[in-house]
A and B are shown apart, each in its own frame.
Chain A
Amino acid sequence: MRRRATRLAGGVTLVTAAAVALSGCVASERDAEGSGEGSGKDTFVFAASADPGSLDPAFASDGESFRVARQIFEGLVGVEPGTADPAPLLAESWDISDDGLEYTFHLKEGVKFQDDTDFDAEAVCFNFDRWANWTGLAASESLSYYYTHVFGGQGENGKYDSCAASDAATAVVKLKSPLPELVPALSLPSFSMQSPTALEEFKADEVGGAEDAPELSEYATGHPVGTGPYEFGEWKAGESVTLKAFDGYWGEFGDVKNIVFTVISEGTARRQALEAGDIDGYDLVAPADVDALKDGGYQVLNRDPFNILYLGMNQKQKPFDDPKVRQAIAHAIDKEALVAAALPEGTEVATQFVPSTVSGYSDDVATYEFDQEKAKELLKEAGQENLELEFNYPTDVSRPYMPDAAAIYEAISADLEEVGITVKATPEPWSPTYLDTIQGSDKHGLHLLGWTGDYNDTYNFIGTFFGSESAEWGFDDEALFKSLGDARYAPVDQQEAQYKAANEAVMEFLPGVPLASPVPSLAFTEQVQGYPVSPVQDEVYNVITFTE
């Protein structure tokens, strides 16, 4: 239930004010926005770790922006609940031409935007054209990250050609060259359908401010309009974002009529806010807090893993260019023990560079089982019996795939020492320099890093890592790059098989050691039922109910 501050007639003295305030709870309109079934509670308070970067998801790429956007907006393509697989949403179905250049989307009919604009093929094309025609700052990665990445850029550079409405319920999108990951990518909030009326009225594309200091548009700070179950209420920067149920929504509602995202950046503070009863749930639960929360009667839900933690090696640094050394390191690591010691309960041990939820996951990759004798033997064969290695790992960071880098480092380095490798720790703060060292320079050998997938596509993982030569891995293997590219552009019916083959090829080459896919956790009060946990965080709150 939402509280509305009580407004009393003026002219009362401060003393009376204090007296009334003391009885404030009684005076409050406790249930101003109507009540839900069952408990009567209709407001869901969720602690976010930060403000959204922008309310316009086309200009956002961070998790907190997407969390809010998923309530307000819907895309052509959604996600099958509980999985990472694409599913119909605003498009009920689609046909792809044989050459992969033409996508015909058959749209759901009778859908309205929250400002009463019709959702139809014109609106779809308006959105596609909008993305494709950005220029200047709007077209830079800092703003339109996902469009730039998926479509390869704007205008002439990009793969997008045109969009036409063949009738109100059919939109035909044409591409200049094939884009096999288009359908799964469209499930990202960045490709949400936004109201053309609101986009124009609130000048969504006018990235204001000076040329070198982009400022969010009026639309992105206070007027987002989509077709989703909740419409925008208020954004108090640094404090909260409030949403309310959209009466004209085509779908159904559970008990949640109002959503409040309250910003609590610090992890312990989020946990205490839950324990104090100030919030109903929060994300990014620290693995160390899980047991205490469960003991305290709170629900801890795990998302299926959609990320990968790996031990990277830079082949520009000797002796990582020797496959035997890489294999020895892979055999030396006890992944099961690592998971038990340093990663949250429920973590999946990794055999390849994609988690098992991704469609190209293969059961037939080369595995390098934990075998210290074999590791020693391989090192001997490579002539590296007295190997000394620098091991880079980040400090002051917790990523979904790497909750505690130091603990992971400890476990792995102990394993390496066991087979006679001398490890020299090289910790470095994540912000601002660790990534520069690993991805922007040659000055690293062994290192910890990982990736959380954007959408269900093998290339989004192994293509991101090994699609071309990079400073992180330091190898140039045209054959491998080509096999990944071929798999990416394979005909749809052969793609899964080709991706499986690509995963097998990568593990044969063994550029690094995939370690694990940790599961991210969320915590809720007992009252919250039916939270739609999703590996790709496609979590929309209209399905949630509250118990007494």
Chain B
Amino acid sequence: MLRLIVQRLLLLIPLLLGLSVLLFAWVRALPGGPATALLGERATPEAVARINTLYGFDQPVHVQYFKYLGRLLQGDFGVSTRTGRPVLDEFLTRFPATIELTIVALIIAIGIGIPLGYIAARRAGSFIDHSSVVVSLIGVTVPVFFLAFILKYVFAVELGWFPSTGRQDPTMIATHPTNFYVLDGLLTGEWDAAWDALVHLILPGIALGTIPLAIVARMTRAAVSEVQNADYVRTARAKGIRASRLRGEHILRNSMLPVLTTIGLQVGLLLSGAVLTETVFAFSGIGSFLAEAVFNADYPVMQGFVLMIAIVYALVNLFVDVSYGLIDPRLRRQQ
């Protein structure tokens, strides 16, 4: 198991190197540039040229790349051309927001998706089965920003049950030692700050959770349908095993492997930042910041954020692989 982890981590090095080359080439192939974005409407060509010289954007790409790589190896991801803050700081400030949102979206996706898929499979052809298919289809097909907009309109504007934007009531004075706002409130004992942060997560969490919910539900349904007709389940049932044990140990646990893979992929995706949801809810996570960076040709942020997201994605996948072993003892033995 340890060998697997070390192997996978070492594999990250060439992966990230390759990615950094690709990113560098891609970002610089984009039309426009940070100088135009910085100077706005009336930038003279001379001013643009001066900025490019100062920031080093006029040097050959390979020179820029090796300079960048040199700094990267020292843990320096550069400085955002738009905000003038270090890219790493920008990422670390915003990533907790994205993680909190991911957790809420996952709780919704798993908490509803798995039971829904399971019941649908166990009662195939029933009303619940049909409705789960419909829910799945809606979840996958309705555009996230549309759903976000509707949720906000109904529950924030019309009913006023939830706040419409942000991570916390902007008039609230609260301390943020970790930048995980819910956790911060619990750590510092500022209970209403924690509650307020939690309430701010509900609507974006639902909007973001629907797609993974639909996928998890469908996956569970398919897996459970297959497993419940397997020979060993029939045998177990014939042996007169207790129904709850049959469901929990023989059916659900054995059908969880593909579902777990799906969840892993979804976690990776969710942690990459939800551009639309974050923008609609003015939720200050990494997705909305990366989108703004693209609009402003903020090279260092685009490069840095994508690299860090790649690292997170790789680590999540590694974690999923390791957790297979926990669910399936056969895999553990193989390793």
Contact = CB atoms under 8 A, between A and B. Distances in A.
Contacts of B51: 140-142
B165 A273 contact: yes
A212 B153 contact: no
Interface in B145-185: 149, 152-153, 156-157, 160, 163-176, 185
Contact of B84 (A21, A54, A238): A54
Most chain A CB within a 10 A radius of its CB, from B37, B174, B193, B289: B193
Interface string B41-81: 11101011011001110000000000000010000101101
Smallest CB-CB A-B distances: 8 pairs: A432-B32, A24-B192, A21-B195, A238-B284, A5-B193, A5-B190, A216-B84, A212-B56
A20 B76 CA distance: 43
A5 B54 contact: no
Contacts of A436: 31-32, 36
B262 interface: no
A21 B36 contact: no
Contacts of A32: 173
A251 interface: no
Nearest to B87: A213
B171 A43 contact: yes
A432 B34 CA distance: 9
Contacts of B82: 53
B297 interface: yes
Given A45-B170, A216-B85, A276 B191 contact: no
B41 A24 contact: no
A262 B55 contact: no
A432 B31 contact: yes
A242 B170 CA distance: 9
A264 B292 contact: no
B153 A272 contact: yes
A521 B194 CA distance: 36
B85 A237 contact: yes
B189 A10 contact: yes
A433 interface: yes
Contacts of A43: 171
A266 B39 contact: no
Given A24-B195, A142-B39, A264-B165, A215 B84 contact: yes
B288 interface: yes
Contact of B55 (A14, A145, A213): A213
Nearest to A472: B42
B90 interface: yes
Contacts of A8: 189, 191
Most chain A CB within a 10 A radius of its CB, from B90, B160, B191, B198: B191
A141 B47 contact: yes
13 contacts: A5-B193, A6-B192, A12-B189, A61-B40, A213-B300, A236-B176, A238-B284, A239-B170, A262-B165, A431-B295, A432-B36, A435-B36, A439-B42
A260 interface: yes
B78 A277 contact: no
Most chain B CB within a 10 A radius of its CB, from A7, A433, A449: A7
- Size category of the B interface is 35 or more
B195 A22 contact: yes
B146 to A, nearest CB: 12
A65 to B, nearest CB: 11
A9 interface: yes
A266 B282 contact: yes
B93 interface: yes
Nearest to A44: B171
A157 interface: no
Given A263-B284, A432-B36, A276 B156 contact: yes
B94 A278 contact: no
A407 interface: no
A239 B28 CA distance: 29
B33 interface: yes
Contacts of A464: 42
A137 B54 CA distance: 7
B14 to A, nearest CB: 26
A221 interface: yes
Given A142-B35, A276-B163, A432-B32, A213 B78 contact: yes
A326 to B, nearest CB: 22
Contact of B45 (A20, A268, A440): A440
Contacts of A136: 54
A268 B191 contact: no
Interface residues of A, number: 77
B279 A4 contact: no
Contacts of B284: 236-239, 263
A278 B166 contact: yes
B63 to A, nearest CB: 11
A375 interface: no
B296 interface: yes
Contacts of B175: 5
A395 to B, nearest CB: 13
Contact of A432 (B33, B56, B85, B279): B33
A320 interface: no
A17 B165 contact: no
Interface in B186-240: 186, 188-196, 198
A273 B283 CA distance: 13
A431 to B, nearest CB: 5
A51 B169 CA distance: 17
A237 B37 contact: no
Most chain B CB within a 10 A radius of its CB, from A1, A21, A28, A50: A21
A440 B48 contact: yes
Contacts of A265: 279, 282, 288, 292
A27 interface: yes
A110 interface: no
Contacts of B79: 209-210, 213-215
Most chain A CB within a 10 A radius of its CB, from B39, B195, B297: B195
Given A212-B54, A276-B156, A432-B36, A20 B93 contact: no
B90 A140 contact: no
B230 to A, nearest CB: 41
Contact of B188 (A7, A14, A25, A277): A7
B282 A263 contact: yes
B258 interface: no
B83 interface: yes
B94 to A, nearest CB: 6
Contacts of A145: 39
A268 B43 contact: no
A451 B289 CA distance: 27
B85 to A, nearest CB: 6
Given A213-B55, A268-B149, A440-B48, A7 B189 contact: yes
Contacts of A209: 79, 86
Contacts of A431: 32, 37, 295-297
A371 to B, nearest CB: 32
Interface in A433-471: 433, 435-436, 439-440, 449, 451, 464, 471
A451 B42 contact: yes
A492 interface: no
Most chain B CB within a 10 A radius of its CB, from A9, A140, A240: A140
Interface in A31-60: 32, 43, 45, 50-51, 53-54
A3 interface: yes
A214 B163 CA distance: 37
Nearest to A23: B192
B70 to A, nearest CB: 10
A275 interface: yes
B32 A278 contact: no
Contacts of B23: none
